[in-house]
Protein backbone atom coordinates (compact mmCIF):
# COMPACT_ATOMS: atom_id res chain seq x y z
CA UNK A 1 0.00 0.00 0.00
CA UNK A 2 1.28 3.47 -0.81
CA UNK A 3 0.02 7.02 -0.27
CA UNK A 4 -2.05 8.77 -2.88
CA UNK A 5 -0.45 10.98 -5.46
CA UNK A 6 1.25 13.95 -3.76
CA UNK A 7 0.65 16.07 -6.86
CA UNK A 8 -3.06 16.21 -6.07
CA UNK A 9 -2.88 18.40 -2.94
CA UNK A 10 -0.10 20.49 -4.47
CA UNK A 11 -2.20 21.38 -7.49
CA UNK A 12 -5.26 21.91 -5.35
CA UNK A 13 -3.52 24.83 -3.62
CA UNK A 14 -3.89 26.90 -6.79
CA UNK A 15 -6.46 29.67 -6.40
CA UNK A 16 -7.78 32.01 -9.02
CA UNK A 17 -8.34 35.74 -8.49
CA UNK A 18 -12.03 36.48 -8.88
CA UNK A 19 -12.33 39.90 -7.28
CA UNK A 20 -14.13 40.60 -4.03
CA UNK A 21 -16.25 37.51 -4.35
CA UNK A 22 -17.71 35.67 -1.39
CA UNK A 23 -15.45 33.04 0.19
CA UNK A 24 -18.02 30.36 -0.57
CA UNK A 25 -18.03 31.21 -4.28
CA UNK A 26 -14.29 31.77 -4.43
CA UNK A 27 -13.12 28.63 -2.70
CA UNK A 28 -15.63 26.38 -4.42
CA UNK A 29 -14.87 27.95 -7.79
CA UNK A 30 -11.12 27.67 -7.34
CA UNK A 31 -11.19 24.12 -5.97
CA UNK A 32 -13.79 22.93 -8.46
CA UNK A 33 -11.73 24.38 -11.32
CA UNK A 34 -8.45 22.98 -10.08
CA UNK A 35 -9.09 19.66 -8.39
CA UNK A 36 -11.20 18.04 -11.12
CA UNK A 37 -9.30 20.06 -13.67
CA UNK A 38 -6.22 18.19 -12.52
CA UNK A 39 -7.60 16.00 -15.27
CA UNK A 40 -6.44 18.59 -17.79
CA UNK A 41 -2.88 18.03 -16.62
CA UNK A 42 -3.59 14.39 -15.94
CA UNK A 43 -0.53 13.22 -17.87
CA UNK A 44 1.56 14.44 -14.92
CA UNK A 45 -0.81 12.88 -12.42
CA UNK A 46 -0.91 9.55 -14.18
CA UNK A 47 2.87 9.33 -14.37
CA UNK A 48 2.91 9.33 -10.58
CA UNK A 49 0.09 6.80 -10.44
CA UNK A 50 1.95 4.56 -12.86
CA UNK A 51 5.08 4.87 -10.76
CA UNK A 52 3.33 3.53 -7.68
CA UNK A 53 1.16 0.84 -9.24
CA UNK A 54 1.36 -2.00 -11.70
CA UNK A 55 -0.35 -0.02 -14.48
CA UNK A 56 1.73 0.09 -17.61
CA UNK A 57 2.70 3.42 -19.28
CA UNK A 58 0.46 2.44 -22.19
CA UNK A 59 -2.56 2.15 -19.90
CA UNK A 60 -1.98 5.53 -18.29
CA UNK A 61 -1.36 7.11 -21.71
CA UNK A 62 -4.68 5.66 -22.85
CA UNK A 63 -6.46 7.13 -19.84
CA UNK A 64 -4.80 10.51 -20.34
CA UNK A 65 -5.80 10.57 -23.99
CA UNK A 66 -9.40 9.72 -23.15
CA UNK A 67 -9.62 12.47 -20.54
CA UNK A 68 -8.00 15.08 -22.74
CA UNK A 69 -10.45 14.19 -25.52
CA UNK A 70 -13.43 14.48 -23.19
CA UNK A 71 -14.18 10.76 -23.47
CA UNK A 72 -14.93 10.44 -19.78
CA UNK A 73 -16.87 7.19 -20.00
CA UNK A 74 -13.92 5.62 -21.80
CA UNK A 75 -11.60 7.00 -19.11
CA UNK A 76 -13.70 5.43 -16.38
CA UNK A 77 -13.66 2.10 -18.26
CA UNK A 78 -9.86 2.29 -18.45
CA UNK A 79 -9.63 2.95 -14.71
CA UNK A 80 -11.98 0.06 -14.02
CA UNK A 81 -9.77 -2.27 -16.05
CA UNK A 82 -6.69 -1.04 -14.20
CA UNK A 83 -8.39 -1.58 -10.85
CA UNK A 84 -9.12 -5.18 -11.78
CA UNK A 85 -5.35 -5.63 -11.84
CA UNK A 86 -4.80 -3.42 -8.77
CA UNK A 87 -7.96 -3.65 -6.63
CA UNK A 88 -6.34 -2.03 -3.60
CA UNK A 89 -4.81 0.94 -5.43
CA UNK A 90 -6.38 3.94 -3.71
CA UNK A 91 -4.82 6.32 -6.25
CA UNK A 92 -6.89 4.78 -9.03
CA UNK A 93 -10.02 5.04 -6.90
CA UNK A 94 -9.34 8.69 -6.18
CA UNK A 95 -8.86 9.28 -9.91
CA UNK A 96 -12.28 7.75 -10.43
CA UNK A 97 -13.66 10.21 -7.91
CA UNK A 98 -12.02 13.14 -9.65
CA UNK A 99 -13.35 11.92 -12.99
CA UNK A 100 -16.89 11.63 -11.65
CA UNK A 101 -16.50 15.13 -10.17
CA UNK A 102 -15.46 16.35 -13.61
CA UNK A 103 -18.70 14.83 -14.91
CA UNK A 104 -20.71 16.58 -12.17
CA UNK A 105 -21.70 13.15 -10.85
CA UNK A 106 -21.26 14.26 -7.28
CA UNK A 107 -22.74 11.25 -5.47
CA UNK A 108 -20.56 8.86 -7.48
CA UNK A 109 -17.52 11.03 -6.79
CA UNK A 110 -18.23 11.03 -3.06
CA UNK A 111 -18.66 7.25 -3.05
CA UNK A 112 -15.27 6.84 -4.72
CA UNK A 113 -13.57 9.25 -2.32
CA UNK A 114 -15.06 7.36 0.62
CA UNK A 115 -13.78 4.11 -0.89
CA UNK A 116 -10.28 5.61 -1.13
CA UNK A 117 -10.49 6.60 2.55
CA UNK A 118 -11.50 3.07 3.52
CA UNK A 119 -8.33 1.79 1.84
CA UNK A 120 -6.13 4.49 3.34
CA UNK A 121 -7.83 5.73 6.53
CA UNK A 122 -4.95 8.07 7.34
CA UNK A 123 -5.15 10.01 4.10
CA UNK A 124 -7.12 13.30 4.38
CA UNK A 125 -7.37 14.48 0.76
CA UNK A 126 -10.46 12.50 -0.37
CA UNK A 127 -12.37 13.74 2.68
CA UNK A 128 -11.43 17.30 1.84
CA UNK A 129 -12.67 16.72 -1.71
CA UNK A 130 -16.01 15.55 -0.34
CA UNK A 131 -16.17 18.75 1.67
CA UNK A 132 -15.69 20.86 -1.46
CA UNK A 133 -18.39 18.98 -3.34
CA UNK A 134 -20.85 19.44 -0.50
CA UNK A 135 -19.85 23.08 -0.18
CA UNK A 136 -20.71 23.59 -3.83
CA UNK A 137 -24.15 22.12 -3.13
CA UNK A 138 -24.50 24.35 -0.05
CA UNK A 139 -24.91 21.30 2.11
CA UNK A 140 -23.05 22.94 4.94
CA UNK A 141 -23.46 20.24 7.59
CA UNK A 142 -22.17 17.50 5.28
CA UNK A 143 -19.31 19.73 4.15
CA UNK A 144 -18.32 20.54 7.72
CA UNK A 145 -18.38 16.85 8.68
CA UNK A 146 -16.13 15.84 5.77
CA UNK A 147 -13.60 18.64 6.23
CA UNK A 148 -13.55 18.11 10.00
CA UNK A 149 -12.78 14.43 9.39
CA UNK A 150 -9.92 15.52 7.13
CA UNK A 151 -8.57 17.89 9.78
CA UNK A 152 -8.81 15.19 12.43
CA UNK A 153 -6.22 13.30 10.40
CA UNK A 154 -4.00 16.28 9.68
CA UNK A 155 -4.73 19.54 11.48
CA UNK A 156 -1.82 21.47 10.01
CA UNK A 157 -3.54 22.11 6.70
CA UNK A 158 -4.15 25.77 5.96
CA UNK A 159 -6.25 24.95 2.92
CA UNK A 160 -8.65 22.70 4.85
CA UNK A 161 -8.82 25.13 7.78
CA UNK A 162 -9.74 27.90 5.36
CA UNK A 163 -12.33 25.68 3.70
CA UNK A 164 -13.91 24.92 7.07
CA UNK A 165 -13.95 28.65 7.81
CA UNK A 166 -15.86 29.17 4.56
CA UNK A 167 -18.39 26.59 5.70
CA UNK A 168 -18.79 28.52 8.94
CA UNK A 169 -19.45 31.67 6.93
CA UNK A 170 -22.03 29.72 4.95
CA UNK A 171 -23.97 29.30 8.19
CA UNK A 172 -23.34 32.92 9.27
CA UNK A 173 -20.89 31.87 11.99
CA UNK A 174 -18.41 34.70 11.49
CA UNK A 175 -16.77 34.24 14.90
CA UNK A 176 -16.07 30.57 14.22
CA UNK A 177 -14.74 31.40 10.77
CA UNK A 178 -12.34 34.00 12.18
CA UNK A 179 -10.90 31.48 14.66
CA UNK A 180 -10.23 29.00 11.85
CA UNK A 181 -8.73 31.61 9.53
CA UNK A 182 -6.39 32.76 12.30
CA UNK A 183 -5.34 29.14 12.81
CA UNK A 184 -4.77 28.72 9.08
CA UNK A 185 -2.42 31.70 9.10
CA UNK A 186 -0.55 30.31 12.09
CA UNK A 187 -0.08 27.07 10.20
CA UNK A 188 0.91 28.82 6.99
CA UNK A 189 1.69 32.51 7.47
CA UNK A 190 0.72 34.59 4.47
CA UNK A 191 -1.62 31.94 3.04
CA UNK A 192 -3.47 34.03 0.39
CA UNK A 193 -6.96 32.46 0.59
CA UNK A 194 -7.05 32.93 4.37
CA UNK A 195 -5.92 36.54 4.04
CA UNK A 196 -8.57 37.13 1.38
CA UNK A 197 -11.30 35.59 3.51
CA UNK A 198 -10.35 37.61 6.60
CA UNK A 199 -10.55 40.75 4.46
CA UNK A 200 -13.94 39.65 3.11
CA UNK A 201 -15.15 38.79 6.61
CA UNK A 202 -14.14 42.21 7.89
CA UNK A 203 -15.80 43.87 4.89
CA UNK A 204 -19.09 42.03 5.34
CA UNK A 205 -19.39 41.44 9.08
CA UNK A 206 -17.33 43.99 10.97
CA UNK A 207 -19.24 47.24 11.34
Alpha helices by DSSP H, the chain: 7-12, 23-34, 42-51, 57-68, 72-85, 90-102, 106-119, 125-136, 140-153, 158-170, 174-187, 192-205
Query: pTM above 0.85?
Result: no
Write the burial class of residue 175 (CB in 10 Å: 0-12 exposed, 13-18 middle, 19+ buried). Answer: exposed
Q: Rounded distance, CA 51 to CA 76, Å? A: 20
Q: For 104-108, which contacts have Cβ atoms below 8 Å and span 24 or more sequence positions?
A: 106/133, 106/136, 106/137
**Helix, strand or coil, per DSSP, at residue 165:** helix
Residue pLDDT, tens place only, 91-104: 899 999 989 999 99
Residue pLDDT, tens place only, 162-201: 999 999 999 999 999 999 999 999 999 999 999 999 998 8
- For range 10-39, the mean pLDDT: 43
End-to-end alpha carbon distance in the chain: 52
Amino acid sequence: MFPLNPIVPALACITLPVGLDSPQTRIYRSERMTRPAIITVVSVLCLAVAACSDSSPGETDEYTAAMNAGRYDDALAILKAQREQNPHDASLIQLEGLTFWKLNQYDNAIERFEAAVRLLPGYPEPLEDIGYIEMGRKRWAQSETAISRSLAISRRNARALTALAVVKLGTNNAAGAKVLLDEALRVQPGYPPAIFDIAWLNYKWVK
